[in-house]
């Protein structure tokens, strides 16, 4: 096992983002000192984990010295995922098919993120177009998990998760179209909240999709950082259709009705460590006074086919229309094998598209009906432990890799098609010492319930720290 982290006796210490912002505001150290320390930390771990897509520290250090930041994270160093336009940096989405042309302007979520006061030092790695659950590539080195560099960091926000878990920065941007915040959070031992659809500004490339699966957010090491992030976004933009979350600062008093689901739709059993850890959290919830009942998953097996057909449709759209959707100089010949394989899968099933869209809408109604009887749904984040590098190799046999992916990512996609919020918490650990994420879903607009419960669980079972392990 090779563990990599950047925690050191510098100004950042082991502070979370709220702690760093408060230290800057009180004059303990400057925004420039914070960004310089983060740059050194990145240099210390990136050769091992390969999590930075584009370095932008020079511009960031100029901004830090000017110190014109405002917001809850004023002056906090961070990075943005490389599928979100940030003026001056290329937005390559993990693919050589997109030329490395700097973006001319920020997209909507970038403006929201900057509005919290963060200082962006660069862009993080992601697999091609975010279509898989590991940050591995056919044409370059993989992004590795800092808990053990033999293992995957998850995806698609794998670079962000690896850097935050390694202590290089306290938070980083992530987004989620099938689990892409929650999967890497689970793999790297972090807090990963996928907000309700529309709670944060959407992803520009997904805005015209028949069903917009993607929500923007962050990965963090503390529940507090995620809660303050969501609260500060509400200060910046009113969201129609939802009650405000407000600033959640601790556990709630209400005892919850919890539905526990441990049998994946795919039919395979959980691995022993994952099953043990999710049941341990259920026991903890009952000790805390919540009521836990085991229930079947509230969608039927057809959901797998509907979601994977829609997933393949997205790949086909990129394959055939990348020049219109992404960049006029999109080079289809440079697409990775996994994206091409997924596009071909759509062609074999294109006639199913109308029934796919109808099926996903019906599944949404079934899934949300579960919240008539329960406040939250408890599952593992993933159906088995984080795999080693190569298990989900995008250059491997497509059918075999696709089957492995579907079995691995068995719990997270329902919240994307339904638009419901969900969070992965680092409450479990495997016999090999790797993090295991525990997953909670709520009905649309239920982020406050998830955050209050997360605070309570973090307090009852403090999250493992990479620097202590």
The residues annotated with a catalytic role in the active site are 81, 156, 180
| Distances 353 to 211, 223, 245, 359, 373 between C-alpha atoms, Å | 12, 39, 36, 10, 32
The residues pairing with 259 across neighbouring beta strands, listed in sequence order, are 293, 377
Contact in structure between 409 and 178 (CB atoms under 8 Å) = yes
| Closest alpha carbon to 130 in 409, 323, 344 | 409
Q: Cα dihedral angle (155, 159, 164, 167), rounded to 10 degrees?
A: 140
* Interacting residues of 365 by C-beta distance below 8 A, sequence separation 6+: none
* Interacting residues of 20 by C-beta distance below 8 A, sequence separation 6+: 12, 34, 73, 75, 76, 77, 170
* Interacting residues of 199 by C-beta distance below 8 A, sequence separation 6+: 215, 230, 233, 239, 242, 245, 421, 445, 447
Q: At 281, list the tokens.
A: 């959290």
**Cis omega (within 30 of 0) on the bond before 156?**
yes
- Helices 31-49 & 158-165 angle (0-180, nearest 10): 110
């Amino acid at each position: 096992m090779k563990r990599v982290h950047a925690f050191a006796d510098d100004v950042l210490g082991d502070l979370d983002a709220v702690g760093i912002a408060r230290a800057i505001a009180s004059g303990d150290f400057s925004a420039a000192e914070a960004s310089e320390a983060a740059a050194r930390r990145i240099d210390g771990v990136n050769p091992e984990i390969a999590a930075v897509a584009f370095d932008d520290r020079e511009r960031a250090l100029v901004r830090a010295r000017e110190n014109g930041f405002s917001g809850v994270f004023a002056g906090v160093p961070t990075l943005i995922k490389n599928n979100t336009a940030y003026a001056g940096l290329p937005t390559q989405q993990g693919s050589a098919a997109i030329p490395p042309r700097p973006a001319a302007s920020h997209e909507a979520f970038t403006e929201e993120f900057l509005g919290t006061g963060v200082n962006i030092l660069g862009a993080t790695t992601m697999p091609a177009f975010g279509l898989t659950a590991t940050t591995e590539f056919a044409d370059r080195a993989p992004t590795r998990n800092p808990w053990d560099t033999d293992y995957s960091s998850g995806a698609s926000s794998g670079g962000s998760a690896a850097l935050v878990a390694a202590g290089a920065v306290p938070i980083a941007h992530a987004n989620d179209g099938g689990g892409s915040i929650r999967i890497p959070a689970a793999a790297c031992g972090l807090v990963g909240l996928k907000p309700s659809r529309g709670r944060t500004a959407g992803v520009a490339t997904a805005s015209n999709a028949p069903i917009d699966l993607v929500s923007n957010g962050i990965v963090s090491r503390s529940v507090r950082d995620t809660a303050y992030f969501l609260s500060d976004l509400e200060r910046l933009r009113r969201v129609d259709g939802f009650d405000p979350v407000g600033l959640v600062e601790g556990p709630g008093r209400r005892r919850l009705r919890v539905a526990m689901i441990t049998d994946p739709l795919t039919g395979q059993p959980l691995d022993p460590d994952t099953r043990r850890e999710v049941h341990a959290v259920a026991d903890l919830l009952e000790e805390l006074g919540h009521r836990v009942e085991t229930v079947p998953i509230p969608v039927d097996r057809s959901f797998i086919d509907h979601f994977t057909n829609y997933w393949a449709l997205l790949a086909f759209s990129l394959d055939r229309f990348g020049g219109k959707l992404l960049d006029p100089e999109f080079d289809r010949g440079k697409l990775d094998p996994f994206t091409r394989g997924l596009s071909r899968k759509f062609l074999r099933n294109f006639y199913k598209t109308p029934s796919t869209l109808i099926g996903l809408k019906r599944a949404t109604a079934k899934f949300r009906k579960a919240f008539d009887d329960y406040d939250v749904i408890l599952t593992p984040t993933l159906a088995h432990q984080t795999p080693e590098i190569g298990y989900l190799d995008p250059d491997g046999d497509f059918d075999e890799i696709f089957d492995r992916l579907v079995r691995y990512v068995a719990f997270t996609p329902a919240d994307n098609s339904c638009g419901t919020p969900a969070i992965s918490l680092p409450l479990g650990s495997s016999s090999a010492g790797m993090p295991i994420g525990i997953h909670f879903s709520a009905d649309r607009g239920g982020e406050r319930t998830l955050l209050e419960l997360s605070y309570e669980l973090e307090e009852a079972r403090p999250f493992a720290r990479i620097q202590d392990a």
